[in-house]
Copies of this chain bind each other. A is one copy, B any other.
Amino acid sequence: MSLAPQLWKDVERIRAAAPLVHNITNFVVMNTTANALLAIGASPVMAHALDEVADLAGIAGALVINIGTLSPAWIESMRRAGLAAREHGVPIILDPVGAGATALRTETCVALLTEASPGIVRGNPSEIMALAQATCGLTVRGRTKGVDSAHDSAQAAKAATALARRFACVVVASGATDFITDGSRSRFVDGGDSLMPRVTGMGCTASALIGAFAAVNTSGFAAALHAMGVMAICGEIAGSLSQGPGSFQLNFLDALYGLLPEDVEARLKIRDA
């Protein structure tokens, strides 16, 4: 049975409710992820001050924590926001940018996984494998090279599943094909476009969109699946219209904004893993 109608129902909910998605994210993508959230119909707020992150947890529909450009003060804000969101039952999405590339990043993610209990973790395959190595005793060959992946999502399937079980969360390893698991159920999402890794922050955008879907769907597994489906569909649409990564960016936002149920019906490619 196609998941298209369920995915579309979530898009309609986002457009109707414009859920507030609180982002503590990196400097590189703040603009682009805010724009992606607005384009799909959500209401983004980017805020990191220690004195206000807890306030926002009370009114937000989801909290997205992205460690892309880390510093000690921001880590403390992420921690406090995470604890407040957990207390208020606000869904938390963790994007472990560059986990494995530096000790600071890996350690920060492990601390957030333990203390804030994010319901969903989305990273590239290398990041997910680095986290599984740090917390589940898995051995990984190859190493995160900066913030780009050195592995594909199939290679990360075992690590993602172990991580999902270890922290009782949904894990997404995204790439040309996305792998999504809650530790028992697993799916692959196909689609997208080869230009996507040539645009900075497409992974961060995926995490932000998961936040929008998690704000309207209590199943973290469904929210992650639907968000990754929308990424793949809009990436495919944008890719067909673009000459390069510059035009891709604008076409991707236009595609999110103009998404129709027939696009989802025609293009959604989810399969069991």
Contact = CB atoms under 8 A, between A and B. Distances in A.
Interface string A31-66: 110110011000111111111100110011000000
Contacts of A18: 148
A146 B43 CA distance: 8
Contacts of A255: 244
B246 A39 contact: yes
* 4 closest residue pairs by CB, A with B: A246-B253, A244-B254, A246-B250, A45-B146
Nearest to A253: B246
A44 B145 CA distance: 10
A28 to B, nearest CB: 4
A2 interface: no
A32 B22 CA distance: 21
Interface in A108-157: 145-148
Nearest to A22: B146
A242 to B, nearest CB: 8
Interface stretch (A70-78, A179-187, A213-221, A265-273): A70-78
Interface stretch (A85-93, A158-166, A169-177, A193-201): A193-201
Contact of A52 (B22, B39, B103): B103
Given A52-B70, A105-B52, A39 B245 contact: yes
Contacts of A27: 27, 30, 46
A168 interface: no
Given A69-B46, A252-B246, A200 B258 contact: no
A60 B250 CA distance: 30
Nearest to A255: B244
A96 interface: no
B244 A200 contact: no
Contact of A98 (B45, B145, B198, B253): B45
Nearest to A197: B38
A151 to B, nearest CB: 15
B70 A245 contact: no
Contacts of A256: 244
B49 A72 contact: yes
14 contacts: A18-B148, A20-B146, A31-B32, A34-B200, A48-B71, A49-B69, A51-B104, A52-B102, A198-B257, A244-B254, A244-B255, A244-B256, A245-B254, A246-B250
